[in-house]
Amino acid sequence: MENNARWAALTAVAPVAWGTNYWVTREFLPPDTPLYGAALRALPAGLVLLGLCRQRPRGACWWQSAVLGLLNVSVFFVLVYAASQLLPTSIASTVMALSPLAMMLLAWPLLSERPGLPHLAGAAIGLGGVCLMLLTGTAGARASGLLASAAAMLVSSTGYILAKRWNTGTDVLASTAWQLIAGGLFLLPAAAAVEGPPPALSAPELLAFGYVALVATALAFTAWFTGLRHLPAGTVGLVGLLNPVTGVLLGTAVAGEVLTARQLCGLALVLVGVVLGRPARAGRRGAGPAPLRPAPGKPPPRALHLQPPVRIGEEEQKAAPRACQDE
């Protein structure tokens, strides 16, 4: 039996890394080249993962990787940048906190994962916690910024669910690398057309891009997509609520911000929402229902003799996970 707590802990690496990414980007990266910033974040990360797995797509994985790269990387990064420019961070983060609910609703028709009451309650409680932590009012909110933030949330949620739906057993490093490279290649011509030549980067900016590419992108996306393979989409979405929690705690640790009682209550609610999203534990391996006792005076039921299951040939088993990759 898979250890769900272990997969949830691994998945949590992604929102924690994304939470630190906001601070690193704001403090060290150039603010006037968002398209190049997104491309320099995605392409090196994808190339590093590709060098580790040394696999290339084949068949349907070519166009699937292109679609996922467009949704999860290119369009998502641009919409997040637009939302950050048009909205206060608190409002943008609150809109993005709707992602768990969106993932649950999309997983219902696309993955046949019907959201249960604990998941829905966790999404509602977690959203309330994010509002308590971050939302101080709607002053400065623009309709265009709200649309950009909502679109980013829907685009990424759709991309994550499609990645889970199209999973054919391909190595997660390979599928993540293909998405990042495709997304980066979509961004490069747009960056050249809109922002001109690439920016000259200082040493601190190069180090910051290294962190963003390797930790907040390569490691984070690999952990996220690994979680999607082993956990229900609703559980993964709720784990993503650790993103704003990380941002608040990082502001306290690095910027010297003081946590208010309201923020502490919100943080506690978010953690409750994440805990509610835990998948139900399966029974112990090998444990079955209690044997039926015959009624008094009646003979015990005859045992059923079942035929052993037919095993799939080893060649078919080995070929299945390689449906989307070359040697």
Over 50: is that where the pLDDT of 65 sits?
yes
Burial 269-298 (b: 16+ CB within 10 A, else e): bbbbbbebbbbeeeeeeeeeeeeeeeeeee
How many CA within 13 A on the CB side of residue 303? Answer: 4
pLDDT of residue 252: 77
What length is written for the chain? 327
At 127, list the tokens. Answer: 């959203």
Q: Indicate the domain borders of the chain.
A: 4-279
Nearest-CA neighbor of 97 among 66, 128, 141, 55? 128
Residue with the larger pLDDT of the pair 4 and 225: 225
Instruction: Dump pLDDT digits (tens) for 158-170.
Output: 999 999 999 888 9
Burial 105-142 (b: 16+ CB within 10 A, else e): bbbeeebebebbebbbebbebbbbbbbbbbbeeeeebe
pLDDT of residue 302: 55
If you average pLDDT over every residue of the chain, what do you get? 82
Over 80: is that where the pLDDT of 257 sits?
no
Instruction: Dump pLDDT digits (tens) for 23-38.
Output: 888 788 888 888 998 9
Taking each helix axis from N to C terminus, what angle separates 61-69 and 172-195, rounded to the nearest 10 degrees?
50
Over 50: is that where the pLDDT of 190 sits?
yes
Find out whether 166 and 64 touch, Cβ atoms under 8 Å: yes
- CB neighbours of 101 closer than 8 A, spacing ≥ 6? 120, 123, 124, 127, 237
| Partners of 325 in beta bridges | 57
Find out whether 14 and 221 touch, Cβ atoms under 8 Å: yes
Instruction: Dump pLDDT digits (tens) for 303-318.
Output: 444 455 444 444 444 4
Q: Which pLDDT band holds residue 139 (cuts at 50, 70, 90)?
A: low
pLDDT of residue 71: 95
Residue with the larger pLDDT of the pair 127 and 300: 127
Instruction: Dump pLDDT digits (tens) for 77-136.
Output: 888 888 777 777 667 777 888 888 899 999 999 999 998 898 899 889 988 888 887 776
